[in-house]
Structure 1
């Protein structure tokens, strides 16, 4: 970053399976000049997303990225959920300390740290990983803005990207990017109208293999995109209003909160 980018420019980290859905939205809309690191809550679980984040090219921003990248060599031998788990239980100076907890929370306020690390080291599946995520969030809380660290965490539904499968391939005007757009997982056939109903919209587990349809109808001409001349064509049958999208996500968020409270109860038995 230091040698390749201009000082104080911005770096947007993107997973390889993230695609732009709305070309009329700019990433600059998500930049807050008071913060150098912008993360976000993934919607369907309890993690701070590692599939995309915004970092300013400053000493603080470069340090954040480098230390997170170095965690590849410090992952536990058991199931760890790759980069998502690493973001929650990574390390600044000592591999046994959680990254974000270490970064945001004074040592005197990390009483649950040993429990979180134990859950993570013994993890065998995503359920255990979710327990670790809930545990670490208990340490640094639901606070979203850490001005002293120039770091913020956008709340659920407020980020520039969400999972495509979350609303069963539905899209709204206020969507910007979608995640989980892997060509091998996309259904090449357009669904019949009878299969596009609101009561079929919920899908919680991304590993279930439900069909995913990218709403765009044509393959883009990159050359035209570069000069702003390409016309993006979308499947309007999959479109929902911004209001409908907000209503659906709000209902889902309440369900996720209930799951979180249930996991907290289970964690209490580990103390």
Structure 2
């Protein structure tokens, strides 16, 4: 998933969201990645005003012409942020510790003790879960399996109803699930490190 946000109802948050909404007028003409691309430079400007490294990342952002360029740009911004996660009014959750994730990363397997919300389910992409044993590996991102023991009845989704029966075939051990997600995160970080090699090429664009 591109990203998800929880915002506290406060004057700071209202001003922040209003300013971010207006940032739409500043999007580059090339590959900008919509809100996911914009939030990176927007946050960097907020948290590191006048930073020369941010200015370099901004130049890359406005010269991005494809998804690889955009990935290099987000990697540039993440380099500015470093490993820090707490910025006072703003906190950035570490990978695997947020409230939502894509379940295709683990072939639809999940655990109610660590997964609060699973993202990206569309009715037209619902598939019957296969008969074979599922493995904790990524599958196609455009499909998902019903985690319930029976059919999904939207009318039963109301406040106070917590009596859900889950399909045991899609429940995974929490530790094994965490290990699988961490392994995938390592692979993504390695790919991003390779993509950072594009930075000089992008900066040379006119």
Does the Cα contact within 8 Å between 1:85 and 1:129 map onto a contact in 2?
yes
Partner residue of 1:124 out of 40, 65, 88:
65
TM-score under structure 1 length normalisation:
0.66
Distance 1:67 1:155 in 2: 25
2:77 is aligned with 1:77: no
Partner residue of 1:139 out of 73, 80, 97:
80
Distance 2:122 2:27 in 1: 25
SS of residue in 1 equivalent to 2:118:
strand
The count of residues paired between Structure 1 and Structure 2 equals: 201
1:111 Cα deviation from its structure 2 partner: 1.9
Aligned CA distance change for structure 1 residues 124 and 213 (closer, same or farther; 3 Å): farther
SS of residue in 2 equivalent to 1:86:
helix
Aligned CA distance change for structure 1 residues 125 and 233 (closer, same or farther; 3 Å): farther
1:63 Cα deviation from its structure 2 partner: 1.0
Distance 1:167 1:185 in 2: 16
Greater helix proportion: 2
Distance 2:161 2:6 in 1: 28
1:85 Cα deviation from its structure 2 partner: 1.0
Does the Cα contact within 8 Å between 2:68 and 2:195 map onto a contact in 1?
no
Partner residue of 1:163 out of 102, 106, 119:
102
Aligned to 2:151: 218
Aligned CA distance change for structure 1 residues 124 and 215 (closer, same or farther; 3 Å): farther
Aligned to 2:160: 228
Does the Cα contact within 8 Å between 1:116 and 1:132 map onto a contact in 2?
yes
Partner residue of 1:65 out of 17, 29, 48:
17
1:9-158 equivalent positions in 2, closer than 5 A: 49=3, 52-88=4-40, 98-107=41-50, 110-147=51-88, 150-158=89-97
5+ long unaligned stretches in structure 1: 1-41, 89-97
Does the Cα contact within 8 Å between 2:48 and 2:54 map onto a contact in 1?
no
